[in-house]
Amino acid sequence: MNSNLLTVARLAVLIKYGWDLRHFYKRSSAEEQALIEGLDWNAMAELLEDLKRYHRQLVSPEYATKIHAELLAVCADEETAQTFIGYASTL
């Protein structure tokens, strides 16, 4: 697995710890830490914010296209991308 790509399992860990890196390092298991290793936590958080803005219709069509391209570039598969989109729509 490319250590830079987001998977459903990795997304579940980010959600579990509320996207809080300090909380993650204080409370996470060694298995969770190994799973997240290599993932750019800040880049994922920025993408989440972009997806939230998209769902609130606060971005231009051009920027929405950029967000979608970035999402596809960082997700390991379509399932992860759809899960991330669905999660962001609930926030």
Q: What is the pLDDT of residues 40-74, one digit of tens each?
A: 999 999 999 999 999 999 999 999 999 999 999 99
Determine, yes or no, domain membership for 77.
yes
Determine, yes or no, domain membership for 62.
yes
Determine, yes or no, domain membership for 37.
yes
Q: In terms of residue numbers, what domain contains 39?
A: 8-89
User: Does pTM top 0.85 for this prediction?
Assistant: yes
Determine, yes or no, domain membership for 3.
no
- Cβ-proximal residues to 70 (8 Å cutoff; 6+ apart), any chain: 47, 50
Task: Give the number of domains in the chain.
Answer: 1
Q: What are 38-48's pLDDT values in tens digits?
A: 999 999 999 99
DSSP string, the chain: --TTSB-HHHHHHHHHTTT-HHHHHHH--HHHHHHHTT--HHHHHHHHHHHHHHHTT-S-HHHHHHHHHHHHHHBSSHHHHHHHHHHHHT-
Determine, yes or no, domain membership for 74.
yes
Determine, yes or no, domain membership for 1.
no
